[in-house]
């Protein structure tokens, strides 16, 4: 007997249906059991014993009455531009998009979610990146370290920088880090599925887009950031979480206190040395001098190539990370 609500995929094209069902079932926080059908008779017969909560059906295969019972939802994989009318409630999503895009659409329409795991004994390790020095490759190295840890286990990169350097093919249809705070406050039961809808992925590395506006970032109080980190760690999904921080984040010192380790990029020019000295003095006079004990300074060499999130770590960057992680 299935333990979760059921999402059925119905499409006459067998290879497409099987591939889509397999990939959707692999999503870590897919809140449904996935069943696939290529024959209408089999779909209707199945529903005599198993109620279906969501029916994902191709435009070609759709007709009224495919979803039996009450309270279910129909998502139509739209592929043509012709005008369609329906005698029941149907939500259209594009057929010709990535599986990740279809997954996001499902989460956007559906409210069921897997709640955070109770009593997680192995919370994710937090690594914070912060430097008072600007244009020091902090975001680049934070992302590269995220890829490096992603080779060992599931890793999340959270971008706290406004005007994020990391473009995403889903940027126009997804939210950013500040939206997670909103969902945490206003849609607690659905937070895991809402969280999944904002994630961009490359293998074992997930990342969430940074705030689009510093005005939105200013509105988030430190208690909310700390709560958000606790909620994400409570999901039990990640081994490591990388925080790419900036001084505009409220409660930044308290957030750094939560980190097991802190990485600060340094430079040797006089202005950079002065900035770093003043930052460290500020930690001491504000009672956060203990942060220096778990801080590693990284003086970066000159790298000949730096890449995008979806690309592999350059060999020279990898060699540097291996050296630092020893």
- Report the chain (326 residues): mean pLDDT per 10 consecutive residues: 77 93 80 91 93 94 91 91 88 87 79 45 85 92 93 93 64 72 78 82 88 85 91 88 94 93 95 96 94 95 77 88 86
CB neighbour list of residue 45: distance below 8 Å, 6 or more residues apart: none
Q: In what order do the strands lie in the sheet with 199-202?
A: 199-202, 205-208, 155-159, 240-244, 125-129, 261-266, 295-299
Please state, as a whole number, how many other Cβ atoms lie within 10 Å of the Cβ of residue 321. 18
Predicted confidence at residue 74, as pLDDT, reads 94
**DSSP state, 235?**
T
Predicted confidence at residue 307, as pLDDT, reads 67
- Burial of 48 per CB tally in 10 Å (0-12, 13-18, 19+): exposed
Q: Outline which parts of the chain fall under CATH 3.40.50.300.
A: 125-325
Predicted confidence at residue 169, as pLDDT, reads 47
Whole-number Å distance between alpha carbons of 138 and 144: 10
- List alpha helices for the chain, DSSP H: 14-25, 40-46, 99-109, 138-150, 177-186, 191-197, 214-218, 222-234, 252-258, 270-285, 315-325
Predicted confidence at residue 113, as pLDDT, reads 40
Q: Outline which parts of the chain fall under CATH 3.40.50.10850.
A: 6-109
Classify domain 125-325 at the CATH topology level: Rossmann fold (3.40.50)
Whole-number Å distance between alpha carbons of 204 and 156: 8
User: Homologous superfamily of 6-109 in CATH?
Assistant: Ntrc-like two-domain protein. (3.40.50.10850)
Whole-number Å distance between alpha carbons of 250 and 245: 10
**DSSP state, 250?**
T
Work out the angle between the directed axes of helices 222-234 and 177-186 (0-180°, nearest 10). 80
Predicted confidence at residue 281, as pLDDT, reads 96
Q: Where in 61-215 does DSSP place strands (E)?
A: 73-78, 91-94, 125-129, 155-159, 199-202, 205-208
Predicted confidence at residue 240, as pLDDT, reads 96
């Amino acid at each position: 007997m299935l333990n979760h609500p059921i999402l059925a995929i119905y499409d006459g094209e067998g290879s497409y249906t099987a591939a889509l069902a397999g990939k959707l079932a692999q999503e870590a926080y897919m809140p449904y059991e996935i069943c696939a059908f290529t024959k209408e008779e089999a779909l209707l017969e199945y529903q005599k014993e198993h109620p279906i909560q969501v029916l994902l059906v191709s435009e070609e295969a759709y007709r009224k009455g495919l979803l039996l019972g009450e309270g279910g939802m129909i998502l139509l994989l739209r592929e043509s531009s012709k005008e369609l009318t329906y005698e029941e409630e149907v939500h259209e999503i594009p057929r010709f998009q990535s599986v990740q895009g279809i997954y996001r659409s499902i989460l956007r329409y559906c409210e069921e979610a897997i709640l955070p795991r109770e009593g997680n004994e192995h919370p994710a390790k937090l690594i914070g990146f912060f430097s008072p020095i600007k244009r020091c490759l902090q975001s680049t190295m934070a992302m590269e370290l995220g890829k490096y840890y992603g080779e060992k286990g599931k890793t999340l990169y959270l971008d706290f920088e406004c005007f994020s350097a990391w473009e995403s093919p889903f940027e126009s249809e997804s939210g950013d880090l500040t939206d997670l705070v909103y969902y945490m406050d206003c849609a607690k039961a659905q937070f895991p599925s809402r969280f999944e809808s904002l994630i961009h992925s490359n293998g074992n590395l997930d990342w969430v887009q940074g705030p689009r506006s510093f005005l939105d970032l200013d509105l988030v109080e430190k208690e909310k950031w700390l709560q958000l980190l606790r909620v994400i760690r409570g999901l039990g999904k990640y081994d490591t979480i990388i925080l790419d921080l900036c001084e505009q984040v409220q409660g930044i010192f308290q957030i750094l206190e939560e980190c097991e380790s802190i990485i600060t990029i340094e430079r040797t020019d006089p202005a950079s040395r002065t900035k770093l000295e003043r930052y460290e003095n500020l930690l001491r006079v504000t009672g956060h001098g203990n942060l220096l004990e778990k801080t590693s300074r990284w003086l970066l060499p000159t790298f000949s190539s730096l890449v995008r999130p979806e690309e592999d770590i350059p060999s020279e960057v990898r060699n540097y990370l291996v050296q630092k992680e020893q």
